[in-house]
Structure 1
Amino acid sequence: MSLLKQNIPKDYKITVRYIPKEVSGMCWVKLNVFHLEVSLKGLGQKFGNISSNKDNIGTFVQILQEMRYHIGHGLEDSMLEFECHYIEEMWLTARYFEFVEDFFNTANSSREAEDCEPPPCPTSTKRTVTTTTTVSTTSTQHSANERRNGSPDDTEKGVLLPKVVESSLLLLLAIPLIAVVFLLVWKIKSRRNAPQTERRVEEGPALFSGEEANIPPIDVVISEKNRLNIIRAV
């Protein structure tokens, strides 16, 4: 046992579930044999297959299994009766192996009682149960009130829904108005960009065009002819 303790770091913590002697009395060994076996198995799995620590721990596990076999089937019933008295802690290496040594020394020097009468469960456990029940009841009442009055999320959704519908209707009404405005703008631009020929057709045809516009009036032609006749007569 001392060699095994030296091979494990002093600051290493080992988990163990146990019942104190002042609670279990003459049934202390009987009530702790199974959980000590489980704890040593977990510790043995931390070492490799070729480790001497694993072999030494395996030896202790076999001894505990033989003890459980001799105790018989009443072990499980006794453990259930003392269930509320079990404590789970993490001990340093020295404290853990002191417990292991005390267990084997007590098992070799004392005789276990066949019938074990458990003391009343600790009051802390009752308080925990009462608190849990109160919290559950309060949660149930709160849920019922929310279903009856509607949760805050449902109220907010009810307020936001009409606003969304109103915004959608306003958008639908604005679409035709926007279309009319675009149509008017398009017509104005079309009139400004109309071809010049169309404007001329609307104003009517010109009186003279091309060479016809350069022909002198009839009165001018007659006066020129008179001048030529006068010159000839002279």
Structure 2
Amino acid sequence: MTVAAYSSEIGNPITDDIKKISLLKQNIPKDYKITLRYIPKEVSGMCWVKLNVFHLEVSLKGLAQKFGNISSNKDNIGTLVQILQEMRYHIGHGLEDSMLEFDCHYVNEMWLTAKYFEFVEDFFNTANSSRDVEDCEPPPCPTSTKTTVMTTTTPSTLSAQHSTNEKRNGLPDDPEKGAFLPKVVQSSLMSLLAILFIAVVVFLMVWKIKSRRNTPQTERSPEEGPALFSGEEANIPPLDVEISEKNRLNIILAV
């Protein structure tokens, strides 16, 4: 039974329905994304219309809810939904069983306005020209792709692994870490040598200052020449004092 037969019961010729699809394509923004769950033609074959009727109805209902009650877009979408509901009624209860058999072949997509309504228009044109098929043989389900399990490592787990490897092997786990150790040792040795050099310089300066303080004050410079008296000779009284004492004794004896 064709779409024209379905739509005749509610008084809408098929040609008018296709025109409404074109109006919807023009009125809805081009960058609008519409969700749809469907089965490609190459998978479902002659059962393509039958297997897509329910999910297309669900998609159009969700799209109609985005418009106001007085919107012409909502009215046009409502007409298409009524046709799809009538199609499901004529297909009968076998639709659910067929959908379950093809369940692994359904695809979820979000299409822009133009591509979405191209699919809708293709659906109604195919439904109008095709015949009902009762038995639908599903192809084998696609092989599930192997999911690679990604193990998340935290810094704590990495440090624990590195320490374990170092305890077992006595060597760092990371090659870059092993190359980094000599640089650390070299920099520490250079710092130690610099500290020792500064300590030696300070020690020499202190020793020189102390040695200058301990030098005797009687030491004369070479420019002043040798000292006239040294030792006990420096304490001998002057000669004129001795002469005056002798004169005094002579005077006393003469008296």
TM-score by length of 1: 0.54
Secondary structure at the counterpart of residue 108 of structure 2: strand
| Unaligned 5+ runs, structure 1 | 136-151, 153-234
Q: Deviations along 1:22-44, whole A, 9 cap, x unmatched? A: 00000000000000000000000
Q: Deviations along 1:120-150, whole A, 9 cap, x unmatched? A: 0011xx335xx59xx7xxxxxxxxxxxxxxx
Counterparts of 1:25-64 in structure 2, within 5 Å, are 25-64=45-84
Letter of the 1:48 counterpart: G
Counterparts of 1:120-131 in structure 2, within 5 Å, are 120-123=140-143, 126-127=144-145, 131=147
Counterparts of 1:66-77 in structure 2, within 5 Å, are 66-77=86-97
Secondary structure at the counterpart of residue 69 of structure 1: helix
> What is the Cα deviation at residue 4 of structure 1?
1.4
> What is the Cα deviation at residue 93 of structure 1?
0.4
> What is the Cα deviation at residue 98 of structure 1?
0.4
Letter of the 2:42 counterpart: E
> What is the Cα deviation at residue 112 of structure 1?
2.6
> Which residue of 2 is the match for residue 204 of structure 1?
none
1:3 aligned to which of 23, 41, 47: 23
Distance 2:94 2:102 in 1: 13
The two structures, once aligned, show a CA RMSD in angstroms of 1.7
Secondary structure at the counterpart of residue 127 of structure 1: coil
Is 1:88 aligned with 2:108?
yes
Distance 1:64 1:3 in 2: 18
Identity rate, percent: 89
Distance 2:25 2:70 in 1: 18
Letter of the 1:41 counterpart: K
Query: Once superposed, which parts of structure 1, at least 4 consecutive aligned residues long, lie more than 4 Å away?
Result: none
> What is the Cα deviation at residue 20 of structure 1?
0.4
Distance 1:95 1:24 in 2: 20
Asked if the contact 1:31–1:75 (Cα under 8 Å) also holds between the matched residues in 2, the reply is yes
> What is the Cα deviation at residue 113 of structure 1?
1.3
Letter of the 1:127 counterpart: T
Q: Which has the higher helix share?
A: 1
Distance 1:6 1:70 in 2: 31
Aligned length: 131
Letter of the 2:32 counterpart: Y
| Unaligned 5+ runs, structure 2 | 1-20, 150-159, 161-255
Secondary structure at the counterpart of residue 70 of structure 2: coil
TM-score by length of 2: 0.49
Counterparts of 1:1-234 in structure 2, within 5 Å, are 1-123=21-143, 126-127=144-145, 131=147
Secondary structure at the counterpart of residue 145 of structure 2: helix
Letter of the 2:75 counterpart: D
Secondary structure at the counterpart of residue 38 of structure 1: helix
Distance 2:145 2:31 in 1: 34
Secondary structure at the counterpart of residue 14 of structure 1: strand
Distance 2:95 2:111 in 1: 25
Distance 1:108 1:114 in 2: 17
> Which residue of 2 is the match for residue 173 of structure 1?
none
